[in-house]
Structure 1
Amino acid sequence: MAWFTLERFDPSFFETARHRHSYTMDLPVAPETVWRGLAGDVPLAWCRGLAGGRYTSPAPHGVGTTREITALGLLHLREEFVRWEEGERHSFCVTEASLPLYRRFGEDYVVRPHAHGTRFTWTFAYEPNPLLARPAALTDLPGTSFLRKLIADTKRHFGAA
Structure 2
Amino acid sequence: MFPCERVDLSFTDPDSGEAPHVFRNSIELAITPEQLFEVFTDAEAWPHWASVITKVTWTSPEPYHAGTTRTVAMRGGIVGNEEFLAWEPCTHMAFRFNECSTQAVAAFAEDYRVEVIPAGCRLTWTMAQKPAGPARLGMYMFRPLLNLGLRRFLRNLRRYTDTRFATATPR
Q: Is the TM value for this pair above 0.5?
A: yes
**Coarse TM-score class (shorter-chain normalised):** 0.7 to 0.9
Which structure is higher in helix share?
2
Whole-angstrom distance in 1 between the partners of 2:155 and 2:73: 18
Q: Is the 8 A contact 1:37 1:45 kept in 2?
A: no
Whole-angstrom distance in 2 between the partners of 1:123 and 1:59: 24
Q: Pick from 9, 12, 27: which aligns with 1:11?
A: 9
In structure 2, the residue matched to 1:21 is 23
1:73/1:43 CA distance change after superposition, 3 Å: farther
Structure 1 range deviating more: 76-85 or 149-158 = 149-158
Measure how far apart 1:73 and its partner are.
4.8
- Larger Rg belongs to: 2
Measure how far apart 1:43 and its partner are.
5.2
The normalised TM-score by structure 1 is: 0.86
Structure 2: runs of 5 or more not aligned: 164-171
Measure how far apart 1:140 and its partner are.
3.0
The normalised TM-score by structure 2 is: 0.82
Structure 1 range deviating more: 100-109 or 150-159 = 150-159
- After superposition, the CA RMSD in angstroms is 2.1
Query: % of aligned pairs identical?
Result: 27
Secondary structure of residue in 2 paired with 1:105? strand
In structure 2, the residue matched to 1:38 is 40
Matches within 5 A, 1:64-79: 64-79=67-82
Q: Pick from 41, 45, 57: which aligns with 1:54?
A: 57
